[in-house]
Structures are given as structure tokens and as C-alpha cells.
Structure 1
Amino acid sequence: MSTPATSPTTTAATATAAAPASSRPSPDGPEHTARTAHPLPRPARLRPRDALAVGVSGLRGRKLRAVLSALGIAIGVAAMVAVIGIGTSSQAQLAAQIAKLGTNLLTVGPGQSFTGKDSPLPTDADAMVRRIGPVSSATATGKTRATVRRNDHVDAGITGGIAVLAARENLLDTVGGHLSSGRFLTVASSKYPTVVLGSKAAARLAVERPGGLVRLGEQWFTVTGILDPVALAPELDTAALVGWQAAAEHLGFDGHPTTVYTRTAESAVEQVRDVLAPTVNPAGPNEVKVSRPSDALAAQLAARNTFNALLLGLGAVALLVGGVGVANTMVIAVLERRQEIGLRRSLGANRAQILTQFLTEAVTLAGLGGLAGAALGGVATYGYAAAKHWPFAIPGGALAAAVAASALVGAVAGLYPASRAARLTPTEALSTG
């Protein structure tokens, strides 16, 4: 039997089909075959850990410059943390003081009539106030015309700003005052020429302890006690307090109180405040002044918040100046390290990796300065609060925000130098390095 002849074309096609795919000639030529058989390696990625290591190594090589640049950031952050910490500690102290003294103290004083004349309070004003249901205690002081002197050789016109006041025996209990030394007025001693001095009055009269004599008007009075400063009634600090009966007998006191102090239930402060004036002077409630001393402490707290905001702005300016120092450091680093940049680009580093390297270096530099500043600000706050006997209080969020703000400043400050480094080509960087 004869075999059919095969054509050369058919034989070539069959051989090609039977050949392995890897040995087949490419229709695009031998170059495409070589690229397919040996693909180029994918560039290595710069992991966060590697970026941090590279950034830290750049700082480690220029330690003095890095320290000086971070110092600017640290000063700004320390100022901000100290302002916030000291302000917070002060507010905590003031809030504790308000809570301790209470916000339920109300004072009543004489006003003026429609004709502009002074309207004295009734002699039994404090007794009438005590009849109000929520009132827990009420007391009074009354100003006398007497002057106080250390001795009779001092001119009577030199008073030293000390007022002589008649006082009820329950004054300290109502205003929350305390004695520094000695004893306060009692029902028995109020009949005799005895006096209790406020803290500033005792200092101005050079009276350091009870037992001495001072001249009130034309009468010698024995000092039986000295008060501590009274926060809710600072007018008592510059006063000489005598008994109600002794003031009437020896100093010509007319019996009309000039200030009535009232303690009431916390839940009924506003209600009592509304009825105090008509209770004290039913015929002329508009001629009575009613106030709450704790409002002055609250206003003081608000004033401190405003002042702290101003100081915080100054700290932010210092942080901005530190950011300018970081930017300057990074610009110089890029100029000095062009050969390093060119070498890394020649070895396969792309622009994104160069950008990440220098940006990481700037953020690390600013972040370290922020951490140092936060620690320094915390130490300064603790020292100041301890010296003032305040509670130490720094919001944790403020510390975190300060460090985050410094890192953000570093990122903004390092963005331009990092971008400039990333735009350099290998040839440009190596030829001008």
C-alpha cells in the first residue's frame, strides 16, 4: 500500500504545534520573547518600619542640628502645655474653693432712694430675713464712724483703710470664716470693748497675736482674735469687728446694719434672692441691693479662661516658629544629601520612597520635640501647682493634641523639602552633589 505524500507546509505546521509553548518563536520578534521569559523585578516597597529607620538615621547623623531644631518645637509645646496645665489646675482649685464655700451665700446692702439719698436698712433686717423658710442662717455687720489706730500717738485721720464694724456673734458661721488665732466674739464678750481683726487689718496695725490693745475712736479695745482671709466676704479682711452692744455703747453705733449675710438652701437660692429685698424693706424694695458673692469667683474663673486663651495663642506662635526651624533644617539636609538621593535613585528608589524618607524625617524630628515639650510643660505645671498648693491637673487630651500638633507642623514644614528631594533625577543629583 502506498503512503500519501505530505507537503512541506503541513509538516512545518505540525512541528510548530507540537513544540513546547516556551520554545515557540514570538510573532513580535525575539525582544518580546526575551522580556516574557525574564520579566524585570518589581521595585521593593518602603515599609513604615523601614521609612522610620531611614528617617531616624538621617537625624542621627546630624545630632546637634536635630536637637536645636527640635528645641524650637519643644519650647512651643511646653508653653502650650504649661498654659493649659496651670490654667486647669487653677480652675480646679477655684472650683474646689467655690464648692467648699458654697454658692448659697447672699448679701443684702442699702441702696439709694429716688432722690439719691442713702436708704439705711432696718435695725432688725437680719431677724426679718431669718423668717424666710429656706434661709438656714442670717447675720449682719454695721459700719461705725469710729477710726482705728495702733496707739493714741497716731493721727486719727490715718485709718489705713480699716473699717470698724459692729458684728453679730454668728458672723463666721454664716460667711464661712475661720480664726487664725484667738477667739471670736461671744454673747458675753460682745458687751465689752473687745475686737477681732481681719487678716489685712492685723497686718496693717502690726498686730501678730491676740492680747494687745488698739485704739478705736477714743476707747482702748482688747484684741481677742485674728481672722484668716474670708474668700466670700473680703471686706472683713480689712475690718475691726466689735460686738453689737459694745459698738452702741462705746462707738456711737446707731444699730442699722450695712450688710446682711444670708445662707439658704442650694435649691432655693434664686427664690430667696427674689424675696430678700421686699422682706428687708417692704416699703422700698428698690432701695435694697442683693448680690451673691460667689458670682465674683465665677467671674474670676471666666477672666482666667480669657487670659489662658491669650497665653495659648502665644504658645501656638512659638510652635509655628519651631516649625520654620524644622523646615530650614530639612531644606539644608536635602542640599547636603544630594549624592545620597542620587545613589538611592540609581539603585531603584522611586520618587514616592524619597518623599516618604524625608517626610518621615521631618515628622520624627517634630514629634520628638513635641514629646520633650509635653514632658517639660508637665514638669513646669507640677512645680507651679505644688508651689501654689493647687491640685495638679492636665487634661490627657491636651497632651495628645500638643504632640499631634507638633507632628502636623513637622509634616507641613517638611513637605516642600521632601518634594524637592523627590523631584531630583539620579543624573541631576549625582552630577551636582
Structure 2
Amino acid sequence: MRVSDLGRESTSGLRGRPARAVLSLLGIAVGVTAMVAVLGISAASQAGLIAQISSLGTNMLTVAPGRDLFGGQTELPVESVAMVSRIEGVRSVSAVGAVGGHSVRRTDKIDPDDTNGIAVLAARLDLLDTLGGSVTAGSYLSPATERYPAVVLGAVAASRLGVGSVGDQVYLGERWFTVVGLLAPLPLAPEVDRAALVGWPVAQTDLGFSGHPTTIYERSADEAVAGVRQVLAATANPENPQNVAVSRPSDALTAQLATRSAFDQLFLGLGAVALLVGGIGVANTMIISVLERRGEIGMRRSLGATRRHIRAQFLAESAVLSALGGVIGVVVGIAVCVGYSLARGLPVTLPWTAVGAGLAAAVGTGIAAGLYPAGRAARLSPTEALAAV
């Protein structure tokens, strides 16, 4: 049998029963759509996250006080920022200090205990440069404002307080502070996003701040990060280096890649299940097709078709049915990937290996699903088949 004849015969049954064929290939289409969409969305998300990590940099380390042997909270020395700045390879250092006993409220009528998760932090003037941050409105603290009741709000803090512009006032430390700036989100410093930043001097004079930093941010040359990390704890607190916690904020973003990969495996498994269900639907359709077309099979056998010809016809029909479902699934999956990427502002990344794998899986599923029906059709004798006419 020529390939052209096989192709014509494999589509004759589908053309004769279009509604049943469409319903059968939907299961294959859903499975392939799930596989392509999951891999495409994952690729776009990972590309976006990698780009974000690259733009933010992986060369920032943070230093925070740990706990002593008895579980008590320790403190970093007041001079720790200056000591860290002298480490070879360090490019910039800044810090914030938690100002305890005070909350930020929209008005003085709100309960002081209702903090809404907003912390008050004393901040150094070089903090924004070290974090690589920016303001969305107003300006950051300056030598002209750090000694006065001026406050800069992190992105989350501004949202929770309902402050959308500079010049507004918030009640902090039993007095009114004027909002001079609103920060853009800082993925590497989420604690700053949820904080109200005041100048280091005004925090000491008006808010009872002790001057001990609670988080030190340090940036160094990329090649010096490992070396700086080894000496950072001992430099920040020479007397008790064991009570110092050193971390790299970008590690949290990198960990999201592994987390997303784990979820990708789960969704791929669900896509495989959908593909399996689709394959069962194709097998069921082909079995019914064999039963309904016994007369056709008997006629072809009587005219000289061999069992191999009958088996090839029904296998090809099953493969074509699944391939059509695979093509539909790939098209829909690509559309989902592109739509998701554009909606989220992510780079459009199409996993062509996933497209090929989806089509191959669809055709493979169709062939596997058609083995039994094709074998059953091939085993029908001409007399048995013609008797059903």
C-alpha cells in the first residue's frame, strides 16, 4: 500500500464521523495544551526571574544580629558599619536600625498597638544607593531632612497607610512626620518595603534609637563575594562572631526557581494524565470504529487486502486522530504562553523542545491507543466480517 493510499484511507473514517473524531481528539488536545503551557509559562517565569536577579545583582550580603546560647537577641556594635566598610573588596555599605516602641499611623486616633505590620527603621543616607533602589515620588532622605521629622515610606507601607503622594503626614512617635518620599519595591530588601524610614540622627534624638544597626547591607565585587562572606561575621562583631547571621538576599529569589520547577513537575504530571485519558478515548473510538466498519473490513479483505494492510490503516487512523489533537493542543498552548508572558510583562519564551515533545507524545499515544483496535480489525476473517453486513 502506497503512502498516499494509506493517508487517504486513514482519514476516511474520521471524515465519515467528524463529531466523534472531534470529541476523541479533545482529550489529546487538552493534555498537549497543558504540557506546552506549563513548560512555556515556566520558561517565561524563569527567564523573568533570572533577568530580575541579574538586574538586582547577586553581590549583596546582609548582616543581622543572631541569638546567643540562651536564645536571647544580640546586638551589632555601633561601629560595625564602619568596620565592614574596611573589608577588602567591599564597594558600599549601609544599614538600618529598628526603632522599637513606636508605630506609624495615619492619624493619632488609631490605636498605637495597631501597627499593620509597618516597622519604623532608622536609615542611613547611602541606603538607597547600596540597595540599588529608587523613589516613585518625592526624594530620599538627605542631609537637609535626616535631622527633622521627615519620613520615607516603603512601597508596602505606603499602600497600607493609604499614602499616595508626598507632603502627607503620618503620626509617628507621638508627633507628626511629613512624608518626603515613596520608595519603589525592593525585592532584595522586603523588610524595607514594609517600613517607614526616618533619619539616623532624628531617630536617636527624638525616638530613643540606640544607634545599633539591625541589618547591614553590603555590596562587593562579584569575584570578592565569597571572600567577603567568610570574614563578614568576624568583622561586624569581632567579640562574638558566632552571634552574627550573614545571608545573601538573592538566594531567596534563586530558590524560587527550584520551587517553581517542583510545581512544574506536578502540572506536567497532570498533563500526562490528561494525555492518557485522551489516549483511552482514542482507543475507545477506534474499537467502536472497528465494530461499525466490519463490513468495510470484510470487503477489503475479499478484494485482496492483507491483515498487514488493515492493521496499518487503523494504526494510521489512530495516529492521525491523535496528531490533529496534538496540533490543536500545541497551538492553544503557545497562545496561552504568549498571552501569559505579555500580561505579566515577561519575555516571551517558547520551549520548542516542549512543542516537539508534545506532538511526539500525541502521536505516540495515538499509536499505542490504536494497537489493540488495529490488531482486532486485522484478525477479522473476510467471512466473519462480511457476515455482519
- TM-score where L is the length of structure 1: 0.88
The one-letter amino acid of 1:136's match is R
Counterpart for residue 341 of structure 1: 297
| Structure 2 match to 1:386 | 342
Secondary structure at the residue paired with 2:140?
coil
Find 1:222's aligned residue among 174, 178, 182.
178
Q: Which of 131, 139, 142 is matched with 2:94 structurally?
A: 139
Q: Residue deviations 1:137-163, cap 9 Å, x none?
A: 000000012211111111211111111
CA distance in structure 2 between the aligned counterparts of 1:126 and 1:266, rounded to whole angstroms: 20
Task: For 2:260, give the aligned amino acid.
Answer: R
2:167 alignment partner, one of 211, 214, 223: 211
Residue number in structure 2 paired with 1:76: 31
Task: Look up the match of 1:127.
Answer: 82
Match of 1:36 in 2: none
Number of equivalenced pairs: 388
Instruction: Indicate the larger mover: 253-262 or 377-386.
Output: 377-386
Pick one of 19, 27, 35 that aligns with 1:64.
Answer: 19
1:252 aligns with 2:252: no
Matched, 1:319 2:288: no
Taking the aligned partners of 2:70 and 2:332, their CA distance within structure 1 comes to 61
- Shift of residue 298 of structure 1? 1.2
Unaligned runs of 5+ in 2: none
What displacement does 1:387 show? 1.3
Aligned equivalent of 2:261: 305
1:427 is aligned, of 380, 383, 386, to 383
2: CA distance, partners of 1:49 / 1:408: 21
CA distance in 2, matches of 1:274, 1:51: 70
1:195 is paired with a residue of what secondary structure?
strand
Q: What residue identity is the alignment partner of 2:247?
A: S
2:160 corresponds to 1:160: no
Paired letter, 2:63: V
In 1, the alpha carbon distance for the partners of 2:290 and 2:44 equals: 44
Structure 1: runs of 5+ lacking an equivalent: 1-45
1:365 and 2:317 correspond: no
Q: Which has the larger radius of gyration?
A: 1
Query: Residue 93 of structure 2 aligns to which amino acid in structure 1?
Result: A
Q: Partners in 1 of 2:34 and 2:222 — Cα distance?
A: 39
Tell me how far apart the structure 2 counterparts of residues 303 and 275 of structure 1 sit (CA, whole Å): 31
Distance 1:171 1:47 in 2: 75
Q: Is the 8 A contact 1:277 1:285 kept in 2?
A: yes
Structure 2 residue aligned with 1:51? 6
Q: Where does residue 400 of structure 1 map in the other structure?
A: 356
Q: Given the alignment, which residue of 50, 73, 90 partners 1:118?
A: 73
Higher RCO, Cα 8 Å, sep 6+: 2
2:108 corresponds to which letter in structure 1?
D
Deviations 1:236-259 (A, max 9, x none): 111000111111111111110000
Instruction: Give the match's secondary structure for 2:74.
Output: coil
| Equivalent position amino acid for 1:209 in 2 | S
Q: Write the deviation string for residues 232-291 of structure 1: whole angstroms up to 9, x where unpaired.
A: 000111100011111111111111000000001111211111100011111111011100
State the AA in 2 paired with 1:369. Answer: G
Residue-by-residue CA offset, 1:381-416 (whole Å, 9 max, x unaligned): 111121111111121111000010010000010011
> In the alignment, is residue 100 of structure 1 matched against residue 100 of structure 2?
no
CA distance in 1 between counterparts of 2:160 and 2:80 reads: 32
Which residue in 2 is equivalent to 1:30?
Answer: none
What per-residue deviation string (whole Å, max 9, x for no partner) do you get for residues 210-242 of structure 1?
A: 101111111211100111111000011110001
Partner SS, residue 121 of structure 1 = coil
Distance (Å, rounded) in 1 between the aligned partners of 2:129 and 2:77: 22
SS at match of 1:190: coil
Mapped partners of 1:384, 1:113: distance in 2:
48
**Separation in structure 1 between the aligned mates of residue 28 and residue 176 of structure 2, nearest angstrom:** 65
Q: Deviations over 1:8-27 (max 9, x none)?
A: xxxxxxxxxxxxxxxxxxxx
2:143 maps to 1:177: no
CA contact (8 A) 1:277 1:289 kept: yes
Q: Alpha-carbon deviation of 1:50?
A: 1.7
Which position in structure 2 is the counterpart of 1:6? none
Query: 2-side partners of 1:366 and 1:351: how far apart?
Result: 23
**CA distances 1:341-368 after superposition (whole Å, capped 9, x unpaired):** 1111111111101100000000000011
What is the alpha-carbon distance in structure 2 between the residues aligned to residue 395 and residue 117 of structure 1? 51
| Secondary structure in 1 matching 2:146 | helix
C-alpha separation between the residues in 2 aligned to 1:203 and 1:116? 35
Q: Which residue of 2 aligns with 1:350?
A: 306
Provide the C-alpha distance between the structure 2 equivalents of 1:428 and 1:115, rounded to a whole number of angstroms.
88
Flag as ranges the 4+ runs of structure 1 deviating above 6 A.
none
